[in-house]
Structure formats: structure tokens, C-alpha cells
Amino acid sequence: MTESTYRIQGATGEWEVVIGLEVHAQVTSQAKLFSGAATAFGAEPNTQVSLIDAAMPGMLPVPNRECIRQAVRTGMAIDAQINRWSRFDRKNYFYADLPQGYQISQLYHPLVGEGAIEISLDEKDPEGSVKSIGVERIHVEQDAGKLMHDQHPTRSYVDLNRSGVALMEIVSRPDMRSPAEAGAYLRKLRAILRYVGSCDGNMEEGSMRADVNVSVRKPGDEFGTRTETKNVNSVRFVMAAIEYEAKRQVSVLEDGGKIVQETRLFNVESGTTRSMRSKEDAHDYRYFP
């Protein structure tokens, strides 16, 4: 395994970047994870919403066998452990585009355990130096709907077509050390998903998006405090977000500041990240089966 030589030059010397990605991939299926509503992209707002997606009283979710099968196929494609026993957990939080007031996800017992994805560090020589990026888990969960704030001067509109659509959350280990490695990992993962047919990988349609965890450290030191940049929807933007965020963290640390664990957003126009909220560790999701 070849170690990355990517470093950020700061006033106090070289800094190493530590990167992990949480990729949300929409499962290829004709129906949602727990309802029979359609999942086609581009339908008129709120035309693909069942009574379950709208959280009408007394509705009971029934798992879609195809969504589970697709997640297992994905796990097998990265040589991951397939857990014979898994469980859905209820993650409670109120959000305007989540009618249930909770998301059905998997925290304690995911469908797929540890695996790995091999990336090529030199695109011109795919048989050359390779690196194995660990995958911690793949769990299956519902997507939320979509809020639109630009359709009316004083109101926000909600489209529930995505609400309840099946997602695989593919969580890597913090094994990447440069924007190029993160880009190679994302491209390889997308190719695998497309090959097995479990996700179309169309990032521009939102069917694959990445939460980007970045921290910096002096080479060989302990891991630093990480930030999470949410919902980045192209390989190029993921690489740009890492580069900006790593340089920002180095600048903060060299000025004597501290990195706070927080959620950030990437602005595609300016190529910068901004703070959105302090990190979820402070939230109480009251998970239960």
C-alpha cells in the first residue's frame, strides 16, 4: 500500500489530511423502502406519496424485499460481511420534510458489516499502486422529503416524493489522505454500484451524495477534531470541499484557534464551506428498535 504524499504547507510546517466519506446511495427499486409508492426521478411534486410516506395514523411499514436484496448485493460486491441478523432502529427528530417525526434507519445492527474498496492511485496506470480503503458498514434507511425555499417570498414548500425512498449509507473508515484519494474512492464506489445495479450513481439527480469528514494533524500525530460537510453531490465538489476545509482548519489551528466538531455546507459558487450547526453528538435521537 502506497502512502499519500499530499500535505498542506502551513506556517508551522506540513499538515496531513484525514478523510472519511459517508455516501448516501439511492437504492434502485420501483417502490420505496416501506411503501408501494413509486420512486421515479422528476415526477410532479407530491404525486408519489403513499399514506405511509405521509405518516397517516395507524400505518405500518413493511420492508421492500428488493431494497434489502440490493443492499446485500452491494455488500457482496465489496467483499463485506453480510450480517444474517439485522434490525431497523427509529431515529427521532422533527423536521418539516419528515412527516413521521422519525427516520427508520439502522444504528446498532446494520445489514452489511466491514468490507473494503481498492482504489488506484494513478489513473493512467490502474495496475500500478493501489490502496485499500476500509468500509465500516452499509446500513439501509429512509430518505427525507425536500424543502424548497425559493418558490415563494414568505413560505417554504415541501415535496414528499423522496420521503421514504430507500438509501444505502456506505460509511468508509478514515483511510483517505488526499482529495485525489477521496475522488478515486467515490468514482470506484460509483462504478461498483452501477455494475451490480443497486444505484444509478447519478449525483446530479441527488441519487448519490457524500458527507465529507475532514480533519488535519501533524504527520504521525493522533487524529484531530473533524468537521462534516453535508450532501456534496459531485466528485469534483467533494475534492474541492476537502481542499478548502483542510486549509481552513490548518489556518485556524496555526492562529491558535480550535476546530469545533460541527456540520458544514459547501457553497459550489465560492468553493468554500460554512458552518451549519454544531455536531450531532449533542443531539439526542432517542434511538429504539
Helices (H) and strands (E) in the chain, counts: 3, 13
User: What is the average pLDDT score of the chain?
Assistant: 93
The CA distance from 208 to 184, in Å, is 15
pTM of the model: 0.93
Residue that the C-alpha cell 496506470 belongs to: 125
Comparing C-alpha atoms, which of 106, 127, 113 is closest to residue 74?
A: 113
Q: Which helix (H) or strand (E) holds 10?
A: strand 8-10
Task: Identify the pLDDT of residue 43.
Answer: 95
Q: What percent of the chain has pLDDT over 90?
A: 87
Q: What is the mean pLDDT of residues 39-51?
A: 95
Note the pLDDT tens digit of each residue in 61-108: 999 999 999 999 999 999 999 999 999 999 998 888 999 999 999 999
Q: What is the mean pLDDT of residues 235-243?
A: 97
Max Cα–Cα distance, the chain, nearest Å? 61
> Would you place residue 1 in the very low, low, confident or very high pLDDT band (cuts 50, 70, 90)?
low
Q: What is the mean pLDDT of residues 237-262?
A: 96
The size of the chain, in residues, is 289
Task: Identify the pLDDT of residue 106.
Answer: 96
> Would you place residue 289 in the very low, low, confident or very high pLDDT band (cuts 50, 70, 90)?
confident
The CA distance from 141 to 89, in Å, is 9
Q: What percent of the chain has pLDDT over 70?
A: 95
> Would you place residue 127 in the very low, low, confident or very high pLDDT band (cuts 50, 70, 90)?
low
Comparing C-alpha atoms, which of 139, 130, 78, 68 is closest to residue 108?
A: 139
H-assigned helices in the chain: 65-77, 179-196, 235-254
Task: Identify the pLDDT of residue 121.
Answer: 82
Residue that the C-alpha cell 424548497 belongs to: 148
Note the pLDDT tens digit of each residue in 51-72: 999 999 999 999 999 999 999 9
Task: Identify the pLDDT of residue 188.
Answer: 97
Rg (CA), the chain: 20
- Cβ proximity of 212 and 229 under 8 Å: yes
Residue 42, CB-side half-sphere exposure with 13 Å CA sphere? 3
Eight-class DSSP state of 27: -
Residue that the C-alpha cell 490548518 belongs to: 250
* Position 202 pLDDT exceeds 80: yes
Comparing C-alpha atoms, which of 117, 106, 110, 109 is closest to residue 79?
A: 117
* Position 2 pLDDT exceeds 70: no
HEC string for 179-226: HHHHHHHHHHHHHHHHHHCCCCCCHHHCCEEEEEEEEEECCCCCCCCC
